Structure formats: structure tokens, C-alpha cells
Amino acid sequence: MQKIGSLINKYKVDDSDKYLSREFQKYAYDLAVELDDLAHKSLYMRLAKNTPRNLLEVARSFVKDATNAKSKAKLYMWKLKQLKLVAKM
């Protein structure tokens, strides 16, 4: 028989997302990490909240396919701008 405390200590709880209360916040944080742009994570939070998700996903997959981009964040923003212009038409 083991003590409850020793059983609980076996399992590590992942607290890395304890400050993220909404799904779009988690999505935006993961996007900022993927684009190596944590300094501008609030920008991605605003985009994830106000921009249709399908546009964000298309731009994200475009950046994933670009293997030798100097700045993934700049490429992402450029593609997102293009997608928004096409969506308005």
C-alpha cells in the first residue's frame, strides 16, 4: 500500500498554460512559438481573436512550406495581408 502523496508525485502536471484561459489564446501562443516571435505574442492574440481561423491556418501552412524564409513572422504577416485582401473581394 502506498501513500496518496507518493502516487500524486509520480505524475507531473503541466502548468505551462495556466495563464491561458481561452482557446484562441492557446492558439496564438502556439503560433508565436512556431514563428519564433514571442516578443509579439499579443499581436497574435489579437489576430486569433478577431480574424477568421481559416485565414490564419492558410497563412500558417504557407509559412510551414517555406523552408528557407529569413523571418517566418514577416512572411506570415505578408501572406495574411494577401489573404485578407482576397477575402474582401
In this predicted structure, what is the pLDDT of residue 76?
A: 96
- Is residue 55 within 8 Å of 87, Cβ to Cβ? yes
Quick check: is 8 in a domain?
no
In this predicted structure, what is the pLDDT of residue 34?
A: 93
Residue 81: give the domain boundaries.
20-88
Return the C-alpha cell found at 57: 491556418
Quick check: is 12 in a domain?
no
Average pLDDT, 10 consecutive residues per value, the chain (89 residues): 78 69 91 93 95 95 90 95 91
In this predicted structure, what is the pLDDT of residue 1?
A: 74
Query: Could you tell me which residues come within 8 angstroms of residue 46 by beta carbon, excluding any fewer than 6 positions away?
Result: none
Count of domains forming the chain = 1
In this predicted structure, what is the pLDDT of residue 85?
A: 95
The whole-model pTM stands at 0.78
In this predicted structure, what is the pLDDT of residue 55?
A: 95
Quick check: is 11 in a domain?
no
